[in-house]
A and B are shown apart, each in its own frame.
Chain A
Amino acid sequence: MKLENRRWTDEEFGQAFREVMSLYPTGREVDLDEAVEYLRALPPEKSVPAAFDRAKRDGLLLLNPRGGVATLEAMTQLLLCLQNEGGADILPVEPDSYSRRNMFQEAAAGLEESQRQGRSMLNGFPLPIHGVATCRRLTESVQRPLVCRSAAPRTQFVNTIAFVSGITEAIGSATGLALCMEYGLDLAQAIQDQQYTARLVGWFQERGVALGLDVNNTVAAGTIAEPSLSIAYGVIDSLIAAEQGARYQSISYQPNHHFVQDLAGMRAQMKLAQHYFTKFGYDWSGLSQAVHQWNGPFPRDPARAYAIIVLSTAIAYLGKARRIMVKSCEEGLGVPTPQANAAGVRATRQVVDMLRGQEFPESPQLREEQAIIETEGRLLIDKVLEVGDGDIAVGAVRAHEAGLIEFPFSINKANKGQMLLARDATGAVRFLDPGHLPFPKEIRQFHQEKLRERQRSEGLEPLEMLVRDLREVRAPFPEAKTRRLV
């Protein structure tokens, strides 16, 4: 099939569905018509789209922890802990990395080994191996909506199993996941794979079942991102999903933990998303925004980890996000325990309760930052549309080939890899080298000047600055300089 940003026909979808379901025996358990009945009968409190509608109406920030272990028993305990001890609003089902990549033999062996050893040898719940009946037992054992955190590009199988099992949202991001996670995956192929999940969501929507799509875009990388990149990838990936009929989409914004830059970036992201949805005639009323607590390397020290959780939450709340992906104070120690994840949710809730009713004040700095980010975001998205002759999917492939848009620190071969980012003296993320991004001289100079300020105060080489920015959320001021100041 030739790549196009066009809604798949029923024949195209039907054929893709049959191919996907033939990948593993549990695919035979999937009956979409039966699933429509099953999902229609779910109570509203099990629906992620309904949770977002309520959050938008009442101005709430939904708390969504992470988590996944191999066996049904352990996974059920984990979810009950997050629900009852944490008070989470949306519960996670993280598939293990093998299931996300259709490596079913490895996932099955890992599940068996986990059962044998009595501890999880997989880093998630292998939905494809468990099959629909077992996954339904899991979803029926909790009273909250669930999301399948299928962060990987080729997740058609696991997402299908998730939806028909009563999980009402899945991760889907046309370009972002491939760019973030796979070296050799062809970008055009990746977009088509993701069109499948978006079309599946659209197919259910047409039958009166609202399912959500979590447009993960730049956040999964665990690095820093200049806001216009979060915006551009968020808009590109959500437009591609909207064409397939996905109405409820949660667009991720990757926070840099800089109040002015992040709040400006979050506003600009929603404004531009609405602008481009309107331009192409899509309904944007189902769009909402999600912020992830820092996705990069966490400190091992729980006290420092909590500080990051608190700051991320403040930014999400003041930026009026509708969901925050919650981390735990044990993030730096490895896969966190259920109790640590529940504690992360309680810490996040405490910040939200304390901030209730507060607004971040308008200021010239905020307006100036938003204007720059918006300009950059428009330049990136318009360039993608231009080189695609109006087709955003085709444009995304061509723009990457030419380096006209770049995913931060991507490992995919489609990414040019000429763009570099670093924090400025205040911690805002700037372009250390914008590569071939379609930015005029004034914007390039603005970023250079901001980074020169940091270089002058810290006395570091550009690459040293960058490495420090990747090693931890924000490195302390270089030691020698600190001593000189005091």
Chain B
Amino acid sequence: MGKTVVIGTIGSDCHVVGNWIMARSLEQAGFKVVQLGACVSQEEFIDAAVEAKADAIFVSSLYGMGLFDSEGLREKCIEAGLKDILLYIGGYLVTTRQEWPDIEKQYKDIGFDRVYPPETKPAVAIADLKRDLGLS
């Protein structure tokens, strides 16, 4: 089907196990994956997405500071001509205890299409992605 996903852990966060597993799962589901690893800046996500003509950016954040790191990502995507790109994020998204709907709302407010809590199975995000891309 030739759809491409850029994946990485944003900001100053070095956790990679989650996106390593997610990347393998996406590949097995038939997606082309551009794996950026950890400590990825917004600019690096966008440059990779432009170069690979990506359909989605999968952002991982495990250290609680994802809001700081992701604010403005949607606007920068639009500036770079990626106006329809899908933005997904998953992980430990805040540093304090908060209810999931509140966390999800904060991230949707800054432009993410899908927001996932810890322990989400890769298959869930892949099913959503296929739906969002009109593949299923």
Q: Which residues from chain A sit less than 8 Å from chain B, CB to CB?
A: 96-98, 100-101, 103, 106, 109-110, 119-123, 152, 180-183, 220, 222-223, 296-297, 300, 332-335, 337, 409, 411, 463, 467, 470-471
Contact = CB atoms under 8 A, between A and B. Distances in A.
B32 interface: no
Nearest to B25: A467
A300 B96 contact: no
Contact of B12 (A97, A300, A334, A470): A97
Given A334-B94, A411-B37, A121 B16 contact: no
Contacts of A471: 21
Contact of B39 (A106, A123, A182, A334): A182
Given A97-B11, A123-B64, A335-B95, A411 B21 contact: no
Interface string B1-33: 000000000011111111011001000000000
B2 to A, nearest CB: 23
B10 to A, nearest CB: 11
A100 B39 CA distance: 12
In this complex, the interface size class of chain B, counting residues with CB under 8 Å from chain A, is 20 to 34
B20 to A, nearest CB: 7
B12 A100 contact: yes
B65 A181 contact: no
Given A119-B96, A122-B95, A335-B64, A411 B17 contact: no
Contact of B38 (A96, A183, A296, A297): A183
Nearest to A103: B12
B12 A411 contact: no
4 A-B pairs closest in CB distance: A181-B14, A97-B12, A411-B37, A183-B37
Interface of B: 11-18, 20-21, 24, 36-39, 63-65, 68, 92, 94-97, 118-119
B65 A121 contact: yes
A467 B16 contact: no
Given A121-B95, A335-B95, A463-B24, A182 B14 contact: yes
Contact of B65 (A97, A119, A183, A332): A97
B60 to A, nearest CB: 12
Contacts of B92: 334-335
Interface centre among B14, B20, B64, B94 (most CB of A within 10 A): B14
A296 B65 contact: no
29 contacts: A96-B65, A97-B13, A98-B12, A101-B12, A103-B12, A106-B68, A121-B68, A121-B95, A122-B95, A123-B63, A123-B95, A182-B14, A182-B38, A183-B37, A183-B38, A183-B39, A222-B17, A223-B17, A297-B18, A334-B92, A334-B94, A334-B95, A335-B64, A335-B92, A335-B95, A335-B96, A337-B97, A411-B14, A467-B24
A39 B24 CA distance: 50
A332 B11 CA distance: 21
A470 B95 contact: no
A123 B68 CA distance: 12
A6 to B, nearest CB: 30
B73 to A, nearest CB: 15
Given A97-B65, A100-B12, A182-B39, A296 B17 contact: yes
A411 B24 CA distance: 15
Contacts of B18: 297
Given A106-B12, A123-B64, A297-B17, 17 more contacts: A101-B12, A119-B96, A120-B95, A123-B63, A182-B14, A182-B38, A183-B36, A183-B38, A183-B39, A297-B18, A300-B118, A300-B119, A333-B118, A335-B95, A463-B24, A467-B21, A471-B21
Contacts of A96: 65
A424 B22 CA distance: 23
B17 A470 contact: yes
Contacts of A101: 12, 39
A352 B63 CA distance: 30
Nearest to A101: B12
Nearest to A98: B12
B4 to A, nearest CB: 20
Nearest to A220: B14
B96 A120 contact: yes
Contacts of B13: 97
Nearest to B93: A334
Contacts of B68: 106, 109-110, 121
A152 B64 CA distance: 17
A220 B12 CA distance: 15
Most buried by A among B12, B21, B37: B12
Contacts of B63: 97, 123
A181 B119 contact: no
A220 B17 CA distance: 12
A113 to B, nearest CB: 8
A82 to B, nearest CB: 18
A183 B40 CA distance: 9
Contacts of A122: 65, 95
B16 A409 contact: yes
B38 A411 contact: yes
A180 B39 CA distance: 11
Nearest to A69: B95
A108 to B, nearest CB: 12
A334 B66 CA distance: 13
